[in-house]
């Protein structure tokens, strides 16, 4: 009975996810495509939960659906004119062939996706990697295997990922000034933001702290912190809560910087880099994760602002255009 | 006994979700659709969370479920207001009221 219920749930989940992906790709309206994409991300995080990967599910829901959705919506708002023009009604053989090809491709993809999902749920009993991870986990100072892998076993890769994010932030800031203003926020938006922002910050701290022994960690915490920044941007704080000038740069590099600092200290202490002493490992990982959280959140907010904050140059605070 | 009460609460919550979904599909204009949608968010999720709290029997899980419900209520209330305001503005423009 329970198995049948789960199978029904799985079939519905797969069908809904694939339909949303299809709808997002084929709809004529950009805004509608983005909204389908957000819903697709939420269902995708359910799939990750189903595959027993709650860390990935949290990251997908917070970054994939939430923040990417906000980014895409803002980008659509920048291009008010529809990019997709009404297709000609005349029958064209080339279009027909292309459409048929795309449909076939999508059906093939859907079959592969469904097969992979079933395979992952039923066939995979291979616990070689899991065993190795749990065998070495006591030395890392954390009990969440995902955090242990990310911050200890493959700390070097995680540091390079943060470097990639830093490069992305530099690229965004090279665009120049931030995008134009949004619609002026009303009383309700401001009232909502007054308690939503503190709640988001507390939840972000919770996820950061919980990452040591439960699903959570730097990326998920950073997504919530960045969401607070997005809410600030939408409710009249033009700089999204980011500091100015040199302090913004400090925030952006603090993720890679924290990693490098810790590993350099370890090297001077006579160890191999990224090899933490066992009694300190938990605290060091928390320190690195805290700095990474701040820097990832700053990167995401810079991406949402789509350029340097208004007050970047000159140091003079411009008049807040949203203030009444 | 607790299981039975929890089951009833969850079924009651699901009823609101079903009603809300039917409402979105069947109701004629945006304001009444929003009305149906927010009922599903508030009451449906509320009963669902209550039933799950009874099933979990853990104070921390209960607090988390309650928090999730409160956050959904706040965001659904705010977004419903925003969508309705936007729709009214557009109606005013169209009908020149």
Same domain? For A116 and A167 the reply is no
Split at pLDDT 50, 70, 90, the class of B87 is confident
A189 touches B at CB < 8 Å: yes
B82 chain-A contacts, CB cut-off 8 A: 188-189
Instruction: Domain count for chain A, please give it.
Output: 2
CA distance B95 to chain A (A): 22
pLDDT at A45: 94
Residues A273 and A149 in one domain: yes
pLDDT at position A173, please? 85
Contacts of A188 in chain B (CB under 8 A): 78, 81-82
B78 interface with A at CB cutoff 8 Å: yes
Q: Collapsing DSSP states into helix, strand and coil, what is residue A177?
A: strand
A243 SS3 class: coil
Q: Are A136 and A266 part of one and the same domain?
A: yes
Check whether residue A61 and residue A178 sit in a common domain.
Answer: no
Same domain as A23, residue A103:
yes
Task: State the average pLDDT for chain B.
Answer: 87
Total domains in the fold of chain B: 1
- Confirm whether the ipTM is greater than 0.85: no
Selecting from A188, A196, A199 the residue whose C-beta is nearest the C-beta of B81 gives A188
Expressed as residue numbers, the domain containing A109 is 1-124
Please, what are the averages of pLDDT over each run of 10 residues along chain A (324 residues)? Answer: 86 92 86 92 93 89 89 80 58 82 88 88 74 81 83 86 92 76 74 87 91 85 92 82 85 90 85 77 87 93 80 43 43
Q: Does one domain contain both A259 and A168?
A: yes
Task: Write out chain A residues lying below 8 Å of B81, CB-based.
Answer: 188
Query: Hey, what are A277's tokens?
Result: 């002493």
Q: Which domain holds residue B62?
A: 2-96
* A271/chain B closest Cα distance in angstroms: 41
Residue of A nearest to B64 (CA): A203
Give me the sign of the Cα torsion angle A215, A219, A225, A229. Answer: negative
Tokens linked to A165: 């994010």
Residues of A in contact with B71 (CB under 8 A): 199
A212 phi, psi to nearest 5 deg: -70, -35
Among B58, B70, B81, B88, pick the best mutation site for testing chain A contact (most A Cβ within 10 A). Answer: B81
Give yes or no: residues A193 and A232 share one domain.
Answer: yes
């Amino acid at each position: 009975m329970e198995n049948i219920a789960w199978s029904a749930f799985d079939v519905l989940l797969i069908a809904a996810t694939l339909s949303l992906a299809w709808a997002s790709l084929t709809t004529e309206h950009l805004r509608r495509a983005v909204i389908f994409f957000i819903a697709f991300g939420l269902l995708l995080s359910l799939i990750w939960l189903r595959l027993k990967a709650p860390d990935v599910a949290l990251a997908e829901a917070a970054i994939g659906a939430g923040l990417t959705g906000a980014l895409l919506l803002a980008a659509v708002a920048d291009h008010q004119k529809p990019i997709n023009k009404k297709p000609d009604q005349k029958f064209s053989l080339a279009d027909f062939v292309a459409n048929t090809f795309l449909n076939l491709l999508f059906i093939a993809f859907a079959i592969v996706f469904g097969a992979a999902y079933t395979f992952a749920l039923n066939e995979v009993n291979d616990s070689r990697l899991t065993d190795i991870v749990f065998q070495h986990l006591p030395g890392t100072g954390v009990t969440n295997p995902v955090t242990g892998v990310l911050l200890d076993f493959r700390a070097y890769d995680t540091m390079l990922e943060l470097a990639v994010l830093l490069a992305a932030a530099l690229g965004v800031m090279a665009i120049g000034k931030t995008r134009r203003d949004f619609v002026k926020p009303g009383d309700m938006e401001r009232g909502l933001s007054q308690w939503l922002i503190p709640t988001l910050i507390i939840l972000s701290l919770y996820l950061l702290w919980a990452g040591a022994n439960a699903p959570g960690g730097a990326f998920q915490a950073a997504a919530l912190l960045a969401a607070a920044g997005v809410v600030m941007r939408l409710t009249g704080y033009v700089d999204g809560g980011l500091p100015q000038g040199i302090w913004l740069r400090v925030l952006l590099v603090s993720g890679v910087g924290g990693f490098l600092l810790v590993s350099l200290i370890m090297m001077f202490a006579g160890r191999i880099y990224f090899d933490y002493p066992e009694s300190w490992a938990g605290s060091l990982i928390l320190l690195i994760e805290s700095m990474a959280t701040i820097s990832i959140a700053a990167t995401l907010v810079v991406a949402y602002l789509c350029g340097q904050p208004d007050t970047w140059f000159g140091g003079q605070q411009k008049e807040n255009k949203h203030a009444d | 006994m607790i299981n039975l009460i929890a089951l009833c609460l969850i079924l009651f919550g699901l009823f609101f979700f079903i009603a809300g979904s039917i409402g979105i599909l069947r109701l004629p204009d945006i304001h009444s659709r929003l009305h149906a949608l927010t009922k599903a968010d508030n009451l449906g999720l509320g009963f669902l969370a209550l039933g799950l709290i009874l099933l979990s029997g853990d104070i921390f899980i209960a607090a988390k479920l309650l928090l999730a419900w409160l956050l959904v209520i706040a965001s659904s209330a705010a977004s419903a207001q925003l969508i309705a305001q936007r729709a009214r503005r557009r109606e005013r423009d169209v009908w020149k009221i």
